[in-house]
């Protein structure tokens, strides 16, 4: 046991130290694998291995056992189902976030009915499994687990666009429920309490994220919001490329600046460079604030964590509802790696972002966007703000560009 604790602690600490904040959603996968294995191991132990291996009592070192009670087996079955559904769902979410598969929703005809059928079969199998666990062998157990794994995949693939942070919060809630079920299986009160806290807080966060996105949970799960639309053919729009020196000159002459951080900032680990540039502006008398969209980044609270790492004063952070009215009176907006959350196309109908609340960046007098390329955001929608005459597009790595901007601002201070 001591060896197992040491190995687990070392691997967990190593993973934490080597992982960036952008990799945190994958951490739920580890929790789910652990919970499912704990429940499965406890079931095998309590049944003497006979339910799965079909061994006679006393054979191959397995002790005879009367088997767990109905409540215990029902809890184990629930833990295995929740853990497996959430495990495969988390793997799909992770693949989308890491761009290993396309982020746009993947939907097929009759998908909702197919998911409902899977759920009915899983519940029926789980009931049979709980009522008479020693009377059924490997086939029933594997059948329920395979169906649960498929349901996890088909539940997450229709989710895309900027709705991904919502599904991440929901999956994290499920991981808490799986951990709590594992706690009931092994009679561990700490695991029960911890899992219940994660499950409850995850549900609350999911509800808050849905409200921020102006969507219901059902719409996120079954609406396939973010599905690609056929783009109109025509001449490709052109943009004027500006330099870091151009952006610095515009910022230096501004009386008010709003900073909008996005996922590109997180990928480039540019929060420190951004903070340095903002502090130089503040020392020159410029009013600076940060606009935080609820789903900026790849998970809830992503931008708050990154900016806190760079010691950005908390009072400068403003949420979307608080700051949207200020954009019209702002001289310059500096966008660092954000895309979907500032896309004016969300105000139009019939596209992947329709109805999503956005930061009203396009109402400012001047917009500076630091971005690697003109590639669309996670929703797959092109951003008309890139081609607006008042927009300065500065292409390159966010960290490198912001360091250059800081160097230019430092010359004038």
The predicted pLDDT at position 210 comes to 79
The predicted pLDDT at position 30 comes to 60
The predicted pLDDT at position 234 comes to 44
Out of 187, 246, 319, 340, the active site residue is 340
The predicted pLDDT at position 94 comes to 78
Question: Facing residues of 368 across strands?
Answer: 334, 392
What is the rounded distance in angstroms from the CA atom of residue 387 to the CA atom of residue 396? 17
The predicted pLDDT at position 136 comes to 59
User: Taking the CB of residue 137, how many other CB atoms lie within 10 A of it?
Assistant: 13
What is the rounded distance in angstroms from the CA atom of residue 257 to the CA atom of residue 330? 6
Phi, psi of 258 (to 5 degrees): -115, 130
How do residues 215-245 score in pLDDT, each as one tens digit?
677 766 665 555 554 444 444 567 888 999 9
Strands across the sheet containing 317-319: 317-319, 287-292, 256-261, 332-336, 366-371, 391-395
pTM to 2 decimal places: 0.70
Q: Where in the chain is the domain with CATH 3.40.50.1220?
A: 244-412
E strand residue ranges, 356-409: 366-371, 391-395
Say which residues have a Cβ less than 8 Å from residue 121's Cβ, sequence separation at least 6.
Answer: 147
The predicted pLDDT at position 162 comes to 62
How do residues 49-63 score in pLDDT, each as one tens digit?
555 444 444 434 434
User: Taking the CB of residue 111, how many other CB atoms lie within 10 A of it?
Assistant: 17
Say which residues have a Cβ less than 8 Å from residue 109's Cβ, sequence separation at least 6.
Answer: none
* List of the chain residues with pLDDT < 50: 52-65, 229-235
What is the rounded distance in angstroms from the CA atom of residue 373 to the CA atom of residue 387? 13
244-412 architecture in CATH?
3-Layer(aba) Sandwich (3.40)
Is 340 among the catalytic positions? yes
The predicted pLDDT at position 61 comes to 41
3-class SS of residue 232:
coil
């Amino acid at each position: 046991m001591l060896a197992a604790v040491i190995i687990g602690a070392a691997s967990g600490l190593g993973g934490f130290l080597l992982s960036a904040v952008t990799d945190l959603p994958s951490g739920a996968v580890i929790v789910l694998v652990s919970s499912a294995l704990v429940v499965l191991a406890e079931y095998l132990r309590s049944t003497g291995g006979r339910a799965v291996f079909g061994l006679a009592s006393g054979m191959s070192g397995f002790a005879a056992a009367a088997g767990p009670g109905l409540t215990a087996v029902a809890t184990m079955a629930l833990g295995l189902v929740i853990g497996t559904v959430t495990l495969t769902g988390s793997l799909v979410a992770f693949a989308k976030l890491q761009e290993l598969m396309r982020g746009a929703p993947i939907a097929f005809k009759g998908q909702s009915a197919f998911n409902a059928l899977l759920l009915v079969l899983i519940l029926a199998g789980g009931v049979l499994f709980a009522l008479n666990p020693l009377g059924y062998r490997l086939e029933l157990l594997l059948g329920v687990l395979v169906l649960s794994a498929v349901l996890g995949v088909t539940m997450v693939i229709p989710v895309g666009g900027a709705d991904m942070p919502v599904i991440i919060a929901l999956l994290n809630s499920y991981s808490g429920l799986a951990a709590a079920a594992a706690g009931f299986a092994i009679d561990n009160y700490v695991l029960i309490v911890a899992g219940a806290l994660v499950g409850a807080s995850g549900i609350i966060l999911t509800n808050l994220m849905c409200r921020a996105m102006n969507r219901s949970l059902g719409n996120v799960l079954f609406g396939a919001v973010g599905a690609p639309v056929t783009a109109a053919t025509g001449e490709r729009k052109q943009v004027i490329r500006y330099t870091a020196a151009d952006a610095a000159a515009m910022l230096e002459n501004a009386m008010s600046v709003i900073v909008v951080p996005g996922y590109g900032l997180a990928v480039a680990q540019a929060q420190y460079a951004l903070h340095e540039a903002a502090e130089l502006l503040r020392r020159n008398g410029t009013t600076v604030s940060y606009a935080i969209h609820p789903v900026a980044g790849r998970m809830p609270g992503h931008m708050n964590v990154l900016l806190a790492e760079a010691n950005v004063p908390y009072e400068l952070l403003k949420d979307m509802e608080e700051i949207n009215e200020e954009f019209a009176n702002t001289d310059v907006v500096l966008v660092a790696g954000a895309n979907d959350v500032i896309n004016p196309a969300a105000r139009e109908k019939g596209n992947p972002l329709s109805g999503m609340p956005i930061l009203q960046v396009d109402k400012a007098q001047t917009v500076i966007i630091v971005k690697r390329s003109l590639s669309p955001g996670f929703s797959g929608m092109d951003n008309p703000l890139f081609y607006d005459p008042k927009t300065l597009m500065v292409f390159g790595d966010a960290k490198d560009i912001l360091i250059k901007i800081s160097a230019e601002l430092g010359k004038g201070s």
